[in-house]
């Protein structure tokens, strides 16, 4: 390539890569196997750690019989509470939360739940480590446990969470319900659900010249680096975490037991140690979505305007960590009423700690709220879309703040047109095709659209290419590709002259891939750096051999954003076929129309939306982790026992979007990572009601539930 100077970035028409479909820049590497995931990166002198998890649910470790295991072939060490390095968990982490003590492995003899890490066996090979780990005998003093989650648990308490305060309330609920023309009062439940990304959690740690080097699979290297520094009382600058390719995260890939165990073993053995979770271990170590029980009460006047709204959600957490699944969150954004009350409550049980899982709060909360709206539409004889349109709020129902943009009605109008909603007979149980009863349903979706401070660096190289460095994480979303398009446009060059490097904590602070905030936050920093680089290049006389580098930091700009309700919105549509004799439910088609800001890369964005919607099918019909009350452990903790939607379950799923400009926002992007699952399960459940005339308020809608419900109908 010829050396070019400032002339290449000026004088032409804008390239505008943003908004055009672009296959993943690392796609070829991924499909040819050239892209290496965390557990595939070679190290010399690598040793392998295998975690040993508790087989009891509550109690104390009375002894670890490590001597026989240490004599086994290749075994280098057995770490446990009696000999492991000490860590400090008395700090508040990156997300403003104390770390889940599951990461503080081998610090004491207490076992707070089944599948708690009790030892790490390290050996020369993975096979030797596994064999020795399975041979390790651990003795426990068992104590009685309580893993039974149910509505009305006596120990429930409210706490704040990602959706704000634990409890919100205004107006006299009982009075408004009494004044309502139609009232709905129903309880809904969702089961324990697991995210289990295809690539299991894996980390390799080693010390290199006084610096802790960790190669990992995570949603934010700065997050993991900062927490490891706190845990091991290290200078943050002496911890370096890399995570180049990530095979899925969904909220599960933060700091976890595997990284901490790997660092401990690397410290003790003074050589690189890799710890990867097995699929089964992920069911207690990777976090999961709490089950919920939810009660929704709604009252409308004769014109279908809400007078009363109450949504309360109970979830569980472990005895060692507080995490709340804020199912009542969506009600704080979606609908207003003179009497409006929401509550998120939690109960502590002897179970593993739940965590963020795609659309935390919104996914189960929208199932209850959007099912309830559909039930209210049925009771009041108002079309479900019309009922929602009549209840579009002017301002945030709880915050009172204006919406930055709210194009929910546009989503419903466009979705209704394309789905053929106008031809729908609202009466249930009328359409039949052979053994199948057919029905259609709809539901609304929303998800918080935030931005967080990030830093980026953009370099004009002497060869005419550009390198952007930002500590982003591409967890399979296409973020690296999206940022390439954003950078190319900001630099006004074709995308093939831009290289985006991500997943390295040495690149400086940046938002994690979480909260649907990654691409928006990173794009802001990349745009700022790229624009300033263009200005610098315009003033410079050629590019020196080391290039020209400009750094950005969006802390001030993000902090200056006006306080508003900022959300993506969407309308979900589903058609189902139900065989009430066998209980089989087949989703026949789905359509999601979203208002989610500027869409950077339509190809990967469509995959994000439809991926979420397909997860909604899975949530509606398949996913359910069942905990044995006697043992306190899960039945079938693997992907054979834990059912997820597979190809044969997934019909034509279409996603599209409407224009959704945000005038205040320089990047105009909203998050799209999570909204696809929101409302999807409700749309399916509402379609099942339309097909059969029977409401399913308990997920998943299993064949046995369909059969039993039909028998009672
Ligand atoms: Mo997402 S559940 O914030 O990774």
Note the pLDDT tens digit of each residue in 602-656. Answer: 999 999 999 999 999 999 999 999 999 999 999 999 999 999 999 999 999 999 9
Asked whether 194 lines ligand 1 (CB < 6 A), one says no
Alpha-carbon span 613 to 681, nearest angstrom: 8
Asked whether 354 lines ligand 1 (CB < 6 A), one says no
DSSP state string for 342-360: EEEEEEE-SSPPP---SST
Both 599 and 472 in a single domain?
no
Pick the atom of ligand 1 nearest to 357's CA. Answer: 2
Q: What is the largest CA-CA distance in the chain?
A: 81
- Alpha helix ranges (H) inside 148-274: 173-179, 221-231, 257-269
* Ligand 1 centroid – CA 49 distance (Å): 28
* Ligand 1 centroid – CA 489 distance (Å): 28
Asked whether 515 lines ligand 1 (CB < 6 A), one says yes
CB atoms within 10 A of CB 11: 8
Domain count, the chain: 2
* Ligand 1 centroid – CA 687 distance (Å): 28
Both 461 and 434 in a single domain?
no
Pick the atom of ligand 1 nearest to 516's CA. Answer: 3
Asked whether 223 lines ligand 1 (CB < 6 A), one says no
- Helix, strand, coil proportions of the chain in percent (round to 5)? 30, 25, 45
* Ligand 1 centroid – CA 250 distance (Å): 5
Note the pLDDT tens digit of each residue in 28-73. Answer: 999 999 999 999 999 999 999 999 999 999 999 999 999 999 999 9
Alpha-carbon span 218 to 503, nearest angstrom: 9
* Cα-Cα-Cα-Cα dihedral sign, residues 400, 402, 408, 413: positive
Residue 93's pLDDT band, with cuts at 50, 70 and 90, is: confident
Average pLDDT over residues 452-458: 98
* Ligand 1 centroid – CA 320 distance (Å): 21
Asked whether 251 lines ligand 1 (CB < 6 A), one says yes
- Alpha helix ranges (H) inside 429-499: 479-491
**Residue 667 pLDDT exceeds 90:** no
Pick the atom of ligand 1 nearest to 673's CA. Answer: 1
* Ligand 1 centroid – CA 219 distance (Å): 9
101 in Cβ contact with 317 (< 8 Å)? no
Q: What local confidence, expressed as pLDDT, does residue 712 receive?
A: 62
Residue 193's pLDDT band, with cuts at 50, 70 and 90, is: very high
Does 650 map to a domain? yes
Question: Rounded to an integer, what is the distance from CA 615 to the centroid of its chain?
Answer: 11
Both 619 and 708 in a single domain?
yes
Both 472 and 438 in a single domain?
no
Structural domain of 711: 404-450+563-713
Q: What local confidence, expressed as pLDDT, does residue 713 receive?
A: 60
Nearest in space to 286 (alpha carbons), one of 353, 351, 230: 353
Q: What local confidence, expressed as pLDDT, does residue 97 receive?
A: 84
Asked whether 356 lines ligand 1 (CB < 6 A), one says yes
Asked whether 358 lines ligand 1 (CB < 6 A), one says yes
Question: Rounded to an integer, what is the distance from CA 189 to the centroid of its chain?
Answer: 20
Q: Of 527, 559, 591, which residue sits at a domain end?
A: 559
Note the pLDDT tens digit of each residue in 399-443. Answer: 999 999 999 999 999 999 999 999 999 999 999 999 999 999 999
Residue 2's pLDDT band, with cuts at 50, 70 and 90, is: very low
Share of the chain above pLDDT 70, in %: 97
Does 478 map to a domain? yes
Three-state DSSP state, 651: coil
Pick the atom of ligand 1 nearest to 517's CA. Answer: 3
Q: What local confidence, expressed as pLDDT, does residue 661 receive?
A: 80
484 in Cβ contact with 474 (< 8 Å)? no
**Residue 3 pLDDT exceeds 90:** no
Q: What local confidence, expressed as pLDDT, does residue 638 receive?
A: 94
Pick the atom of ligand 1 nearest to 252's CA. Answer: 4
Alpha-carbon span 102 to 108, nearest angstrom: 11
Both 570 and 666 in a single domain?
yes
Both 584 and 662 in a single domain?
yes
Q: Which two tokens stand for residue 671?
A: 């998050």
Does 414 map to a domain? yes
Alpha-carbon span 607 to 541, nearest angstrom: 43
Q: Which among 246, 251, 254, 519 is the best mutation to test ligand 1's pocket, defined by most ligand atoms within 8 Å of the CB?
A: 251
Does 528 map to a domain? yes
Helix axes 680-692, 703-712, angle to 10 degrees: 40
Does 697 map to a domain? yes
Q: Of 559, 591, 613, which residue sits at a domain end?
A: 559
Pick the atom of ligand 1 nearest to 360's CA. Answer: 2
- Taking the CA atoms of residue 406, residue 410, residue 411 and residue 414 in that order, the dihedral angle to the nearest 10 degrees is -170
The catalytic position among 26, 131, 565, 674 is 674
Nearest in space to 218 (alpha carbons), one of 356, 54, 121: 356
Alpha-carbon span 452 to 223, nearest angstrom: 13
Asked whether 514 lines ligand 1 (CB < 6 A), one says yes
Q: What local confidence, expressed as pLDDT, does residue 4 receive?
A: 34
Asked whether 191 lines ligand 1 (CB < 6 A), one says no
Average pLDDT score, the chain: 95
Both 666 and 575 in a single domain?
yes
Alpha-carbon span 445 to 549, nearest angstrom: 41
Both 595 and 623 in a single domain?
yes
Both 629 and 590 in a single domain?
yes
Pick the atom of ligand 1 nearest to 251's CA. Answer: 4
**Residue 710 pLDDT exceeds 90:** no
Three-state DSSP state, 604: helix
Q: Of 559, 580, 610, which residue sits at a domain end?
A: 559
Pick the atom of ligand 1 nearest to 355's CA. Answer: 2
User: 82: which residues sit within 8 A by CB, 6+ positions away?
Assistant: 64
Average pLDDT over residues 193-205: 97
Q: Which two tokens stand for residue 605?
A: 């964005």
Burial label, 146 (beta-carbon count in 10 A; 0-12, 13-18, 19+): middle
Both 525 and 409 in a single domain?
no
Q: What local confidence, expressed as pLDDT, does residue 7 receive?
A: 34
* Ligand 1 centroid – CA 196 distance (Å): 13
674 annotated active-site: yes
Alpha-carbon span 194 to 353, nearest angstrom: 12
Q: Report the CATH number at residue 693.
A: 3.30.365.10
Residue 300's pLDDT band, with cuts at 50, 70 and 90, is: very high
Residue 15's pLDDT band, with cuts at 50, 70 and 90, is: low
* Cα-Cα-Cα-Cα dihedral sign, residues 562, 564, 566, 570: negative
105 in Cβ contact with 257 (< 8 Å)? yes
Q: What local confidence, expressed as pLDDT, does residue 163 receive?
A: 84
* Ligand 1 centroid – CA 241 distance (Å): 20
**Residue 318 pLDDT exceeds 70:** yes
Burial label, 3 (beta-carbon count in 10 A; 0-12, 13-18, 19+): exposed
The β-bridge relationship of strands 167-170 and 339-348 is: antiparallel
Pick the atom of ligand 1 nearest to 219's CA. Answer: 4
* Ligand 1 centroid – CA 105 distance (Å): 24
The β-bridge relationship of strands 59-65 and 466-470 is: unpaired
Average pLDDT over residues 348-356: 98
Q: What local confidence, expressed as pLDDT, does residue 507 receive?
A: 98
Does 11 map to a domain? no
Note the pLDDT tens digit of each residue in 508-539. Answer: 999 999 999 999 999 999 999 999 999 999 99
Strand partners, 111: 59
Q: Which two tokens stand for residue 268?
A: 């003790």
Both 421 and 523 in a single domain?
no
Note the pLDDT tens digit of each residue in 106-146. Answer: 999 999 999 999 999 999 999 999 999 999 999 999 999 99
* Ligand 1 centroid – CA 326 distance (Å): 13
Q: What local confidence, expressed as pLDDT, does residue 68 receive?
A: 98
Asked whether 254 lines ligand 1 (CB < 6 A), one says no
Does 386 map to a domain? no
Burial label, 349 (beta-carbon count in 10 A; 0-12, 13-18, 19+): buried
Burial label, 130 (beta-carbon count in 10 A; 0-12, 13-18, 19+): middle
Asked whether 360 lines ligand 1 (CB < 6 A), one says yes
* Ligand 1 centroid – CA 517 distance (Å): 9
Both 676 and 572 in a single domain?
yes
Q: What local confidence, expressed as pLDDT, does residue 197 receive?
A: 96
Does 344 map to a domain? no
Three-state DSSP state, 509: coil
| CA-closest residue to ligand 1 atom 4 | 251
Alpha-carbon span 305 to 182, nearest angstrom: 10
* Ligand 1 centroid – CA 483 distance (Å): 19
Three-state DSSP state, 702: coil
Three-state DSSP state, 265: helix
């Amino acid at each position: 390539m010829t050396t070019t100077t400032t002339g290449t970035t000026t004088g032409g028409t804008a390239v505008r890569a943003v908004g055009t479909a672009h296959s993943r820049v690392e796609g070829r590497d991924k499909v040819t196997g050239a892209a290496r995931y965390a557990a595939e990166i070679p190290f010399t002198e690598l040793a392998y750690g295998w975690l040993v998890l508790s087989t009891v649910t509550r109690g104390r470790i009375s002894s670890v019989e490590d001597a026989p295991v240490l004599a086994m072939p290749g075994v280098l060490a057995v770490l446990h509470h009696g000999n492991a390095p000490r860590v400090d968990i008395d700090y508040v982490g990156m997300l403003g939360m104390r770390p889940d003590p599951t990461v503080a492995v081998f610090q004491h003899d207490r076992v707070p739940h089944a599948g708690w890490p009790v030892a790490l066996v390290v050996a020369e090979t993975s096979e030797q480590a596994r064999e020795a780990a399975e041979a390790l005998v651990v003795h426990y003093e068992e104590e009685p446990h309580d893993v039974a989650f149910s509505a009305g648990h006596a120990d429930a308490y409210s706490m704040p969470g990602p959706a704000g305060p634990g409890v919100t309330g205004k107006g006299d609920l009982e009075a408004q319900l009494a004044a309502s023309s139609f009232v709905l009062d129903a309880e809904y439940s969702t089961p324990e659900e697991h995210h289990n990304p295809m690539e299991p959690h894996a980390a390799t740690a080693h010390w290199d010249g006084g610096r802790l080097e960790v190669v990992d699979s995570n949603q934010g290297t700065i997050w993991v680096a900062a927490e490891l520094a706190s845990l091991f009382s290290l200078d943050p600058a002496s911890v370096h975490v890399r995570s180049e390719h990530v095979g899925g995260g969904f909220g599960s890939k933060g700091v976890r037991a595997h990284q901490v165990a790997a660092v401990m073993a690397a410290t003790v053995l003074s050589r690189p140690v890799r710890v990867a979770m097995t699929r089964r271990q992920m069911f207690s170590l990777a976090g999961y979505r709490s089950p919920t029980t939810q009660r929704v009460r709604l009252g409308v006047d004769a014109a279908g305007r809400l007078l009363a709204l109450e949504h309360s959600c109970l979830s569980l957490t472990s005895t060692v960590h507080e995490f709340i699944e804020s199912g009542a969150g969506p009600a704080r954004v979606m609908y207003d009423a003179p009497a409006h009350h929401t509550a998120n409550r939690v109960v502590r049980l002897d179970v593993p700690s739940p965590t963020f899982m795609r659309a935390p709060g919104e996914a189960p909360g929208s199932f209850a709220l959007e099912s309830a709206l559909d039930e209210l539409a049925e009771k009041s004889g108002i079309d479900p879309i019309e009922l929602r349109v009549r209840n579009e709020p002017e301002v945030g129902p709880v915050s009172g703040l204006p919406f930055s943009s709210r194009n929910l009605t546009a989503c419903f109008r466009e979705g209704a047109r394309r789905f053929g909603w106008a031809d729908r007979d609202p009466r249930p149980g009328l359409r039949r095709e052979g053994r199948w009863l057919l029905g259609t349903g709809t539901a609304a979706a929303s998800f918080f659209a935030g931005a967080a401070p990030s830093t980026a660096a953009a370099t004009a190289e002497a060869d005419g290419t550009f390198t952007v460095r930002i500590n982003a994480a591409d967890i399979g979303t296409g973020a690296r590709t999206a940022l390439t398009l954003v950078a190319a446009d900001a630099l006004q060059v074709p995308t093939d002259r831009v290289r985006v490097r991500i997943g390295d904590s040495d690149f400086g602070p940046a938002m994690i891939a979480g909260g649907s905030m990654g691409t928006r936050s990173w794009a802001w920093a990349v745009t700022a750096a790229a624009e300033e680089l263009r200005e610098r290049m315009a003033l410079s006389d050629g590019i020196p051999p080391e290039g020209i580098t400009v750094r950005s930091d969006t802390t001030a700009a993000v902090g200056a954003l006006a306080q508003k309700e900022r959300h993506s919105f969407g309308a979900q549509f589903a058609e189902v076929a139900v065989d009430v004799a066998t209980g089989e439910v087949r989703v026949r088609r789905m359509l999601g129309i979203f208002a989610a800001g500027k869409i950077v890369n339509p190809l990967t964005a469509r995959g994000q939306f439809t991926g979420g919607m397909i997860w909604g099918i899975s949530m509606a019909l398949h996913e359910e982790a069942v905990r044995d009350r006697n043992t306190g452990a899960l039945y079938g903790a693997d992907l054979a026992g834990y059912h997820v939607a597979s190809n044969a379950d997934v019909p034509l799923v279409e996603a599209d979007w409407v224009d959704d400009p945000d005038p205040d926002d320089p990047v105009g992007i909203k998050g799209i990572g999570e909204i696809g699952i929101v409302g999807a399960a409700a749309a399916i459940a509402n379609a099942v009601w339309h097909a059969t005339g029977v409401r399913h308020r308990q997920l998943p809608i299993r064949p046995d539930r369909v059969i039993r419900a039909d028998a009672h109908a």
